[in-house]
Amino acid sequence: MVEWIVEKGLIPYEAAVQFMEARIADIRAGTKDELVWLLEHPSLYTKGTSAKDSDLLDARFPVHKTGRGGEYTYHGLGQRVGYAMLDLKMRQNNKPDIRGYVWSLEEWIIQSLAEFGIKGERREGRVGIWVVDGNHENKIAAIGVRIRKWVAYHGISINLNPDLSHFDGIIPCGISEHGVTSIHAQGKKISMHELDCALQKSFDRVFKGATHQTV
């Protein structure tokens, strides 16, 4: 069983990490269910394990060093963060496959965007999900995971309607030749609740896990 929690307020980044660390320990111990946690953070930058200092262009917001994979990314109001705390050994028949898990996270995003007529795409060598805008490709969603004793945490972020200028303080995920976009910038003026519903519907298809929701 996968529990879902949908937060209504902003969650500080460090508090979220502490919560995830405690929860994955409980999942490993078998005392609590897997969890998908949907939330928003106040404006901040996170520095992944592969980040280069030169990719921080303007530290206009707090910068948090994090143990997740990847480089610099931005979190803030109008962006849906989905932290997935899942037991990979249990889900993958005791043969954990990190690449397969990342593919599933990508597919989760792609199918959720498709609910609103947005075509999200993978790109070889570029982490995240991309959309084609004329002659340009812009990033609409990011992925960053950490795995401890085969329990995964951290997860995804999807740009619903954040202030896209806030990404200017970093080179997102170390990729300077492409920009960022959002669901609203693609002309789909949906609500956060509508996005959350699509995320749960798509999760059930991609991960095929029974869920219950706590709002």
Say which of 16, 81, 170, 173 is annotated catalytic: 173
Sign of CA dihedral 202, 101, 186, 158: positive
User: Which stretches in the chain have pLDDT values below 50?
Assistant: 210, 214-215
Q: What are the domain boundaries of the chain?
A: 2-214
Judge contact between 85 and 153, C-beta under 8 A. yes
Kindly report, residue by residue over 105-140, the tens digit of the pLDDT. 999 999 999 999 999 999 988 889 999 988 889 999
Cα–Cα distance for residue pair 49/207, rounded to 1 Å: 26
- Backbone φ, ψ for residue 103 (5° rounding): -60, -40
Report the pLDDT value the prediction gives residue 215, as an integer from 0 to 100.
42
Q: Which of 196, 197, 96 is nearest to 152 (CA)?
A: 96
Residue 197 annotated to the active site: no
Instruction: Among 3.40.50.970, 3.30.930.10, 1.10.10.60, 3.40.640.10, name the CATH number for the domain at 2-214.
Output: 3.30.930.10
Q: Which of 140, 126, 143, 122 is nearest to 181 (CA)?
A: 140
Judge contact between 202 and 195, C-beta under 8 A. no
**Residue 31 parent element (H or E):** none
Q: Which amino acid is at 99?
A: R
Report the pLDDT value the prediction gives residue 174, as an integer from 0 to 100.
62
